[in-house]
């Protein structure tokens, strides 16, 4: 008889938590039970699932007894407190915060890229940053084909990456500005409507933002090659859903745009939209609600010997968060890796 898999979703009332429930339903995830958890103030709320509703329970230290998988989207502080407790109870945690991503004991996984790293998990698996996920999905097959030396990436990130309050702020600012009122920014330090902010997360001592350094460090860990050099500039733009990235790649060996299109068209999780003469290229409005990572504008970088430019777009709430987490759970089941080493259930 197949194992009955019980799934907890922590942070189930947030945008990513709700999307996790939607993805579990849409992919017909083999769960015997799915239970949503959130803070005490959200306990008792109803969230939609499979044509009905689930009642949100309060997240406590004892919440994870009997569960096999916990999908976390409740913030770094919550994860730091509760993820070890869940793992101690024998529940494998897939965490969407930044709390565990650079922990040497925790795999940082994008299933299309490094599902093999799940083999050494100790109970907590990190879901990468949204902008990193979509980039490495496209980079991995190209790295296998020609070897990547250096990546220069500039991102154009949707406000949904900040959360529901940012979505509302963009909506309100557009209305206010169009009626002649002041923007009154609260979520962001400056007006986001009709503007671009080259500032995501906090600035560090090296004058890069934390978001930019996440892309640098996470890419190397996921790709498993410390020889890959990455530099990033991350920008918040007035788009609701879908992150876009302009990516310049320098390779060790020649790779033509035509060859890259073939490689990418055969890669898992990638859809190539690249016919500029017909004005076909990826856009955030096309990616919203979709599972794929879209790649286009593939062209030679004429300033270096082995270089390509490309444009990468994906839904930051789906592939950049919820979908990737569920895909990790699916890979755990497929590889027979449920359970926490050293924990008897």
Active-site choice (106, 130, 143, 199): 130
Q: Where are the domains of the chain?
A: 5-128+322-334, 131-316
* Chain segment 310-320, per-residue pLDDT in tens: 999 999 999 99
* Chain segment 191-247, per-residue pLDDT in tens: 999 999 999 999 999 999 999 999 999 999 999 999 999 999 999 999 999 999 999
pLDDT score recorded for residue 155? 98
130 is catalytic: yes
Q: Is the pLDDT of residue 298 over 80?
A: yes
Mean pLDDT of 44-61: 97
Q: Is the pLDDT of residue 345 over 70?
A: no
Mean pLDDT of 310-337: 98
Q: Is the pLDDT of residue 89 over 70?
A: yes
Mean pLDDT of 1-12: 85
Q: Is the pLDDT of residue 2 over 60?
A: no
Active-site choice (91, 106, 143, 243): 243
Q: What band does 1 get if pLDDT is binned at 50, 70 and 90? A: very low
Phi, psi torsion values for 190, nearest 5 degrees: -140, 170
106 is catalytic: no
Please tell us whether the domain made up of 5-128+322-334 is placed in CATH 3.10.150.10: no
Q: What band does 74 get if pLDDT is binned at 50, 70 and 90? A: confident
- Please, what CATH class does the domain formed by 131-316 belong to? alpha beta
End-to-end Cα distance, the chain: 18
């Amino acid at each position: 008889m197949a194992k009955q898999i019980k799934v907890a979703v922590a942070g189930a009332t947030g945008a990513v938590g709700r999307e996790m429930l939607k993805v579990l339903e849409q992919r017909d995830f083999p769960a015997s039970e799915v239970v949503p958890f959130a803070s005490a103030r959200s306990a008792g709320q109803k969230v939609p699932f499979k044509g009905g509703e689930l009642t949100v329970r309060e997240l406590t230290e004892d919440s994870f007894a009997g569960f096999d998988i916990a999908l976390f989207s409740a913030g770094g502080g919550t994860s730091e407190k509760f993820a070890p407790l869940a793992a101690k109870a024998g529940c494998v945690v897939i965490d969407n915060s930044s709390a565990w991503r650079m922990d040497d004991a925790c795999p940082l996984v994008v299933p299309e890229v490094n599902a093999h790293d799940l083999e050494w998990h100790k109970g907590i698996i990190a879901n990468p940053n949204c902008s990193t996920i979509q980039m490495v999905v496209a980079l991995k097959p190209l790295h296998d084909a020609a070897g990547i030396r250096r990546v220069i990436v500039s991102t154009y990130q949707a406000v949904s990456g900040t959360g529901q309050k940012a979505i509302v702020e963009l909506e309100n600012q557009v209305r206010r500005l169009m009626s002649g009122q002041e923007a009154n920014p609260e979520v962001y330090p400056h007006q986001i409507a009709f503007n671009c902010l080259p500032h995501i997360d906090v600035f560090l001592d090296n004058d890069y933002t934390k978001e930019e350094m996440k892309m640098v460090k996470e890419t190397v860990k996921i790709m498993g090659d410390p020889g890959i050099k990455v530099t990033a500039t991350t920008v918040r733009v007035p788009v609701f859903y879908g992150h876009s990235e302009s990516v310049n790649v320098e390779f060790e060996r020649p790779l033509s745009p035509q060859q890259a299109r073939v490689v990418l068209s055969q890669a898992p999780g990638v859809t190539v939209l690249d016919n500029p003469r017909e004005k076909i290229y990826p856009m955030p409005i096309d990616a919203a609600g979709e599972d794929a990572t879209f790649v286009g504008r593939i062209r030679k970088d004429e300033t270096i010997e082995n270089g390509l430019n490309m444009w990468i777009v994906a839904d930051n709430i789906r592939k950049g968060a919820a979908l990737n987490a569920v895909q990790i759970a699916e890979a755990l089941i497929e590889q027979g890796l449920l359970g926490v080493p050293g924990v008897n259930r």
